[in-house]
Amino acid sequence: MNKYSVILGNLGNTCDRFLSSGYKEIPPKETLIRQASEIEGVKGIELVGTWDVDPSNVDQIGETLDKYNLKCVSIIPDHFGQRKWGKGSLSAKDPDTRKMALEYTYQCVEMARTLKCKTLNLWPGQDGYDYILQSNLVQERAWLMENIKEVAAASPDINFALEYKCKEPRNYCFMARASDTLLLAKETGLDNVGVCIDTGHALMGGENVAEAVVILQTYGKKLFHMHFNDNYGGWDDDMIAGSVHFPFYVETLFWLKETGYDGWYSMDQYPYREDGQGAVRESVRFLQMVEARLTDQVMAEIRELQRKGEAVEIQRWLRETFFK
pLDDT at site 16: 84
Secondary structure letter of residue 10 according to DSSP: G
d(C-alpha 204, C-alpha 270), whole Å: 15
Give the model's pLDDT for residue 145: 98
Query: CA 139, 140, 144: angle at the middle one, nearest 5?
Result: 120
Q: Are strands 172-173 and 128-129 parallel, antiparallel or unpaired?
A: antiparallel
Residue 178 has what pLDDT?
98
Residues (pLDDT < 50) of the chain are none
pLDDT in tens, 205-246: 999 999 999 999 999 999 999 999 999 999 999 999 999 999
**Is 267:280 a contact under the CB 8 Å cutoff?**
yes
193 neighbors 185 (Cβ within 8 angstroms): yes
Please count the other Cβ atoms lying within 10 Å of the Cβ belonging to residue 38. Answer: 10
- Contact yes or no for 252/210 (Cβ under 8 A): yes
Contact 158, 139 (CB under 8 A): no
Phi-psi region of 226 (alpha: psi -120 to 50; beta: other; left: phi over 0): beta
Which CATH code is given to the segment(s) 3-293?
3.20.20.150
Rounded to two decimals, the pTM is: 0.97
Predicted local confidence at residue 20, as pLDDT: 85
Which amino acid belongs to residue 236?
Answer: D
Query: In the chain, what are the domain boundaries?
Result: 3-293, 295-324
The values of phi and psi at residue 172, to 5°, are: -135, 125
Specify the pLDDT at position 14.
86
Tally helices (H) and strands (E) across the chain.
Answer: 11, 10
Q: How far apart are CA 3 and CA 183, in angstroms?
A: 27
Q: What is the pLDDT of residue 50?
A: 94
Residue 224's pLDDT is 98
Residue 79's identity, in one-letter code, is H
CB atoms within 10 A of CB 163: 22
Nearest to 36 by CA among 269, 226, 231, 290: 269
Q: What's the rounded Cα separation, in Å, for the pair 283 and 293?
A: 16
Q: What is the DSSP string of 111-163?
A: HHHHTT--EEEE--TT-EESSTT-S-HHHHHHHHHHHHHHHHHT-TTSEEEEE
Please state, in angstroms and rounded to a whole number, the distance separating the CA atoms of residues 308 and 254.
17
Residue 13, pLDDT score: 87
